[in-house]
């Protein structure tokens, strides 16, 4: 499980045939087979040292995430999995991406926050509630506005600074995971 609170922006050192090498920002030593979320996608560590670590991405992951669009020197939002005694400061997420979305617009507000508008397939509309949680590129956010096939979220200046959301542009693809609790409620009560 993860919380959606990003620990670092990690640069992609290299990318080759599904093998990614990422700069290591974690203070404690990593472990082989440890799961780390990258833009909200759980990946298994295959090697590491103090400066960098690597993971392999299967074709299926490349199809359903924004990984195929990532280039050398781009950034991932990274988060280690929660330990049993960790506080959950936002909402619990699995880092199994539900869908890939496209940004339709970005507006900068007078208070320096930005509002991001994202389109999606309307079959997912039951998973989205105003002022409820959604995860975009691994960042736990609150839905500001919600329509049948798009939504908006606001990003405060601090979140812009510590994540890769400041890099986003119109037509970029983003990874999305819906709130896990609300997905289960939909499945149990409405079988959707």
The CATH number of the domain where 128 resides is what? 2.40.30.20
Mark which of 80, 111, 137 sits at the end of a domain: 80
Are 40 and 103 in a shared domain?
no
CA dihedral sign, ordered 24, 70, 139, 60: negative
Which pLDDT value is given to residue 88?
Answer: 58
* Range of weakest confidence among 12-26, 31-45, 52-66, 79-93: 79-93
- Name the CA dihedral angle for 101, 123, 38, 1, rounded to a multiple of 10 degrees: 160
Cβ 53 vs Cβ 38: under 8 Å: no
Are 59 and 118 in a shared domain?
no
Cβ 57 vs Cβ 44: under 8 Å: no
Q: Does some domain include residue 86?
A: no
What is the maximal distance between C-alpha atoms in the chain?
48
Are 104 and 186 in a shared domain?
yes
Residue with tokens 């691994």: 138
Q: What is the extent of the structural domain holding 162?
A: 99-190
Mark which of 80, 112, 144 sits at the end of a domain: 80
pLDDT in tens, 162-184: 999 989 999 999 999 988 777 77
Q: Does some domain include residue 30?
A: yes
d(CA 192, CA 189): 8
Mark which of 80, 111, 129 sits at the end of a domain: 80
Are 76 and 112 in a shared domain?
no
Are 103 and 182 in a shared domain?
yes
What is the total count of domains within the chain?
Answer: 2
pLDDT in tens, 41-80: 999 999 999 999 999 999 999 999 999 999 999 999 999 8
pLDDT in tens, 86-143: 555 556 667 788 889 899 999 999 999 999 999 988 888 888 888 888 999 999 899 9
């Amino acid at each position: 499980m993860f919380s959606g609170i990003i620990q670092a922006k990690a640069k992609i050192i290299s990318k080759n045939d599904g093998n990614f090498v990422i700069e290591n920002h974690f203070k404690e030593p990593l472990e082989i087979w440890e799961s780390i979320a990258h833009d909200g996608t759980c990946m298994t560590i295959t090697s590491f040292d103090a400066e960098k670590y690597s993971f392999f991405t299967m074709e299926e992951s490349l199809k359903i995430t924004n990984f195929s669009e990532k280039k050398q020197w781009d950034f991932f939002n990274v988060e280690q999995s929660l330990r049993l005694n960790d506080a959950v400061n936002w909402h619990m997420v699995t880092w199994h991406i539900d869908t890939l979305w496209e940004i339709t617009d970005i507006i900068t507000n007078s208070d320096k926050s930005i509002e991001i508008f994202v389109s999606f397939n309307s079959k997912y509309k039951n998973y989205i509630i105003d002022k409820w949680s959604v995860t975009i590129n691994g960042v736990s956010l609150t839905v500001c506005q919600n329509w049948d096939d798009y939504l908006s979220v606001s990003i405060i200046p601090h979140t812009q600074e510590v994540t890769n959301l400041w890099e986003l542009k119109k037509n970029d693809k983003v990874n999305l995971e819906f709130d896990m609790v609300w997905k289960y409620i939909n499945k149990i009560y409405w079988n959707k």
